[in-house]
Amino acid sequence: MVKGKFKSVLTIALVFFMLLGIVTPDVNTVVAEEVDKLKPVIDYAYVEDGKLKLSISDNEELDSKPIIYRVDKEINSYEIDEDDYKYEYDGRKKIDNVKIYEIKVEIPTTIFITVKDYAGNENTYKFSIKEDYVALTKYIPDFVVKRLAEGKQSEVDKFKGYEDIFELEYGKVVDALSLYNKIIKNKYKSFNKNDIKIKVKGLSTDKSGNIKLDKFGIFEVTITHSKDKTFEKSAYILIKPDWRNTEDERILSNMSPYIVYSDKIKVADYFRYEDESNNNKGKGKIDTTYLLVYNEETGETVGMTDKINLELNKVYKLNVLNFENNSEQDFYVMRQEKVKSQNKNFIDIEKDYWAASDINKLVSKGLLSGYPDGTFNPKGNITVKEFMTILSRQIATTPTKGKPVLGNVTPPITPSSWGYIESKSVLDRLATEDLYKFNYLNLDRPINREEVAFLIDNTLELGLAYTTNLNKPLTDLATSTYFSEVTKLVDLGLISGYPDGTFRPKNNITRAEIAALFNRIK
């Protein structure tokens, strides 16, 4: 109370002398014994959203008086006062007599801030600002620390339920161990974090084990256990840029042969990249920047260029995830053992038989085989499923010949049945309107000549245009359901009519005719 009365007396006296012109207003005019106790203090400082934020002690003596900040930054020295800079209060009310003021500074840098009142009292502080969302003084309130941690740490979103794909924010960090804690615990109920080693391809980590999210794209993280050489898991970090042009129509078409003869494949080898932007269709190398493959058989995610191990005669359903346009595409594949060359001396094939050479070549390629009794049965019929098996193997040996997959058809047999994956490989390449024209619900019936032409034309890239003006018109093509397909194959010399000028589109095709046809496909 005495202090307050003393202040009032001093203030009245000062105003009186100013009015008389005896004392002029000056920032250095002080009452020494009082001001010495009131040096302004920066309670704490931190960097958030690219701004230096200061908390300055607030009391009755300084409450109504403007505070001047003098910032000495590297070479340049300048003052910020109320006339030059509008202090922005962050919207919070006073907390324990503390106000928050903001000063915009370029970071990183080392700066000196002097807090001074009009009475001339000042304190100077040095701050080394290295990165955003950091505390610069020793004592920081819990609510500030929490806010800084939230700002620095990326929000972790798991992509579409896949436990090993994480969508994170560019420009922030994420703690590697906590990110993959669940994946590691699936292997170990408990573990020593010091035994876990994490290696990131394409991203850097700091001393604390935080992954710096400073690049856009998909990045593989490999997790190993130093004491368990059998444990190795891969996971993926997705950092999506927000500047990508969503109108850029780039299409990935499945070129899957479904049937492969290798024990390892790279999915990227079976996809075709087409750039349809600006109405300019062109083919180019697939861009794998935002593509991953999810293996439903193993529950693992791999990169497009990583090799996937395949067991014999097992159907794998792979999910190609395109993060660029948030789409998914199914990809089925099965590894088969390549049919070894058989004895070409079939007991029912004479050396001068018209298709003997074609049969031997097709058997050598592994596309067709004889019977255990040493026969080939050249005049025998072939079923729809058997023909689709030969056709899918043809595509498998020359993947670029296969047309892109258009649909997702389920053959009328179980996935474990013989010929399932081969039939699916063919049927998935048919347009929806063509599926209605073709009877695929009965795969065990004999296939006829026009159906063979239809399936070959709609699943293989034959490469040449055709004309309906044939040199030798076939008299019975008007009755064919697949007139255009038959005409094309005849015009290309892949299939022919009979000496009497007919094609006989409804006739069943023989095994010898199939051999001759496939050997003409280049």
Split at pLDDT 50, 70, 90, the class of 24 is very low
Is the pLDDT at 214 greater than 70? The verdict is yes
Write the pLDDT tens digit of every residue in 453-482: 999 999 998 866 555 555 557 888 888 889
Question: For residue 29, with 0-12 CB atoms within 10 Å meaning exposed, 13-18 middle and 19 or more buried, which class applies?
Answer: middle
CATH number, domain 153-239, options 2.60.40, 3.40.50, 1.10.3470, 1.20.58: 2.60.40
Is the pLDDT at 311 greater than 90? The verdict is yes
The candidate with the shortest Cα–Cα distance to 479, out of 453, 505, 501, is: 505
Q: Tell me the HSE value of 117 on the side-chain side, using a 13 A CA sphere.
A: 21
Asked if 304 and 268 count as a contact pair (C-beta separation under 8 A), the reply is yes
> Any long-range contacts for 439-443 (C-beta under 8 Å, 24+ apart)?
440/384, 440/409, 440/411, 440/412, 441/412, 442/384, 442/412, 443/383, 443/384, 443/385, 443/388, 443/411, 443/412, 443/413, 443/419
Q: Where are the domains of the chain?
A: 1-30, 38-150, 153-239, 250-335, 356-520
Write the pLDDT tens digit of every residue in 67-101: 444 433 332 223 333 333 333 333 333 444 555 55
Question: For residue 426, what are its two tokens?
Answer: 């063919």
**Which CATH code fits 38-150?**
2.60.40
Write the pLDDT tens digit of every residue in 328-341: 888 888 888 876 66
Residue 85 is predicted with a pLDDT of 34
Write the pLDDT tens digit of every residue in 136-175: 888 888 888 888 888 888 888 888 778 889 999 998 889 8
Split at pLDDT 50, 70, 90, the class of 246 is low
Domains 38-150 and 153-239 share a fold: yes
Split at pLDDT 50, 70, 90, the class of 30 is very low
Split at pLDDT 50, 70, 90, the class of 237 is very high
